[in-house]
């Protein structure tokens, strides 16, 4: 099940949406809705502790983009590229420490590459990212529950979130 709350915002208008999921499958279903809704040059940052579900959400986004290859965490490479309806770049900024590494990553090219760039630990790259991006903040609740605050930082990401909201299906029907 996916819970949305509050129906009409404790969050001030424009601060996005909060979703709770109770399984990895549900988090993937949420990602899938985002992937289906994404346009070229979409940037989605993922924040939250280890094990929060950032890679799981990224897998869902990939699936929504029609990526058929399995998506794993790019542990050894900072970035992993996949082919889908749009190119999909999965970045893990966990180990990024210096500007040089950002340059090695060709981040500016990725961000203008006509695809979807998903960045785990995006707070570590925030200054190098476009202002208008969607930030997903993941929190671990009891057991398998996760709270995910989807925060749009500009008009394009607000539109993305609005489209994704309509694409969201009950995840119990998706892949459990
Ligand atoms: N509701 C949930 N959403 C996402 N992952 C969940 C959920 N419940 C349990 N999990 C498990 O938590 C782990 C999340 O791992 P991962 O997505 O790699 O996190 P991160 O990338 O944030 O470190 C996975 O083992 C996943 O199966
Ligand atoms: Mg991860």
For the chain, helix, strand, coil in percent to 5 are 35, 25, 45
- How close is the Cα of 100 to the center of ligand 1, in Å? 30
Cβ-contact 102, 70 below 8 angstroms: no
- How close is the Cα of 53 to the center of ligand 2, in Å? 7
| Angle subtended by helix axes 155-167 and 24-37, to nearest 10 | 120
The edge-to-edge listing of strands for the beta sheet with 116-120 is 2-5, 17-21, 146-152, 134-140, 42-47, 116-120, 88-92, 79-82
Ligand approaching nearest to the C-alpha of 48: 1
Per-residue pLDDT at 67: 98
Q: What gap in Å lies between CA 57 and CA 46, rounded to an integer?
A: 8
Instruction: Please name the residue whose Cα sits nearest to atom 9 of ligand 1.
Output: 144
Per-residue pLDDT at 175: 41
Return the H-helix or E-strand segment holding 151: strand 146-152
Per-domain residue ranges for the chain? 2-173
pLDDT mean by block of 10 residues, the chain; 176 residues: 56 79 94 97 98 97 96 79 96 82 80 96 92 97 93 95 88 49
Ligand approaching nearest to the C-alpha of 53: 1
Per-residue pLDDT at 117: 97
Q: Which of 19, 21, 24, 71 to mutate to test the pocket of ligand 1 (most atoms within 8 A of CB)?
A: 24
- How close is the Cα of 120 to the center of ligand 2, in Å? 6
Per-residue pLDDT at 168: 86
Q: The tokens of 130 are what?
A: 């476009």
The whole-model pTM stands at 0.92
103 burial via Cβ count (<10 Å: 0-12, 13-18, 19+): exposed
Q: What gap in Å lies between CA 94 and CA 165, rounded to an integer?
A: 29
- Domain 2-173's class? alpha beta
Cβ-contact 137, 148 below 8 angstroms: yes
């Amino acid at each position: 099940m996916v819970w949305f709350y509050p129906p009409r915002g404790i969050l001030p208008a424009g601060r996005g949406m909060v979703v709770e999921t109770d399984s990895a499958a549900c988090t993937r279903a949420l990602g899938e809705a985002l992937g289906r809704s994404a346009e070229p040059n979409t940037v989605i940052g993922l924040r939250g502790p280890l094990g929060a579900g950032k890679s799981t959400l990224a897998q869902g986004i990939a699936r929504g983009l029609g990526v058929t290859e399995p998506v794993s965490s790019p542990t050894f490479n900072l970035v992993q590229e996949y082919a889908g309806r749009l190119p999909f770049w999965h970045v893990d900024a966990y180990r990024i420490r210096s500007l040089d590494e950002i340059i090695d990553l060709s981040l500016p090219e990725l961000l203008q590459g006509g695809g979807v760039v998903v960045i785990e630990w995006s707070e570590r790259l925030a200054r190098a990212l476009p202002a208008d991006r969607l930030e997903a903040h993941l929190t671990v609740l009891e057991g398998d529950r996760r709270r995910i605050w989807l925060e749009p930082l500009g008009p394009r990401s607000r539109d993305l979130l609005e489209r994704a909201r309509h694409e969201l299906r009950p995840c119990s029907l998706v892949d459990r």
